[in-house]
Amino acid sequence: MSALSHLDLTHREKQTLTELSQATRYPIVRLELHRDGEPDLVSIALDNVRIVEEDDTVELIKERGEALRHLAELGLVRLDYNIKVWGTADYNVYYRSELYEMFCHLVMEGASQPDFLFNLAVMRKGRASLTKAGVAALALC
């Protein structure tokens, strides 16, 4: 019996595998804090962000992110934030989202404080894709 048959995936993780299998592209982002003029100074505010609707709740976005993180940890999904080319339209919903607006406002407010280390809100574009193990796991779901 293969190790894949012993996977105990959540409903959200199974749903994510299915969505990945049906998607031409699966855009994700990482919300980062940067300091102008100091490229090595970076802090991740929220990782593996998947937004489908502009008004997706923070709870739902975190749930999706946790599913992606766990699936990547299991080797079922590949998360890539070093892509060179992307479909600009794939990320429109991210720029229009309530989460991104809130993130930018928080960074702007923080940057106005003398002791706040970061002054730039950065959206690092990425994508998720199924691995061969992910395809095999999906067949068992």
pLDDT band at 9 (very low <50, low <70, confident <90, very high): very high
CA–CA gap between residue 47 and residue 72 (Å, rounded): 12
CA–CA gap between residue 137 and residue 141 (Å, rounded): 6
Q: What is the mean pLDDT of residues 60-75?
A: 97
Predicted pLDDT at 4? 52
Task: Please report, rounded to a whole number, the percentage of residues in the chain having pLDDT higher than 90.
Answer: 77
Task: Please report, rounded to a whole number, the percentage of residues in the chain having pLDDT higher than 70.
Answer: 94
Taking only the tens place, the pLDDT of each residue in 21-59 is 999 999 999 999 999 999 899 999 999 999 999 999 999
Q: What is the mean pLDDT of the chain?
A: 91
**Is the confidence at residue 70, as pLDDT, over 90?**
yes
SS3 content of the chain, % helix, strand, coil (to 5): 45, 25, 30
Q: What is the mean pLDDT of residues 66-74?
A: 97
Residues 44 and 32 sit within 8 Å (Cβ to Cβ): yes
Taking only the tens place, the pLDDT of each residue in 79-133 is 999 977 667 788 999 999 999 999 999 999 998 988 889 999 999 999 999 999 9
Asked if the 8-130 domain carries CATH number 3.30.110, the reply is yes
